[in-house]
Amino acid sequence: MKVVIKESNRFEFEFGWGNGYVLIPKNNHLHGNDYINVDVHGGLTFSGLVDAKMVEYLELDKEDEGKWCVGFDTSHYGDNLSEWSKEKVQEETEKLKNQLLNQ
């Protein structure tokens, strides 16, 4: 499984640094599942098939197309940069990856 983090676009509201994603290979039993029970900040807020547009947006490798992607964001009420720095988003994404590997 591959971990990807992406900085959020800044708007007028304060929130965390960005979003965390884990790419699930095609041959994994979790591939294609819209709902996966994990303990991650705010719950999973994204699941979907990696297409060419997502490869470009997340700056992935072309070989990542067709993998299943699940992720979370740090744009919830009360989120801020001091709580959700880039490093904390990375840690939370690794935590998500480890949970997926153990399912």
What is the structure's pLDDT at 5? 82
Q: What is the pLDDT of residue 8?
A: 76
User: What is the helix (H) or strand (E) element at residue 95, kind and residue range?
Assistant: helix 86-101
Give the model confidence (pLDDT) of 34-93 as tens digits: 889 999 999 999 999 999 999 999 999 999 999 999 999 999 988 999 999 999 999 999
Q: Which residues have a Cβ under 8 Å from the Cβ of 56 and sit 6 or more positions away?
A: none
| Domain segments of the chain as ranges | 2-101
Q: State the pTM of this model.
A: 0.90
Tell whether the torsion through CA atoms of 75, 76, 80 and 81 is positive or negative.
negative
The answer to whether 101 touches 30, Cβ cutoff 8 Å, is: no
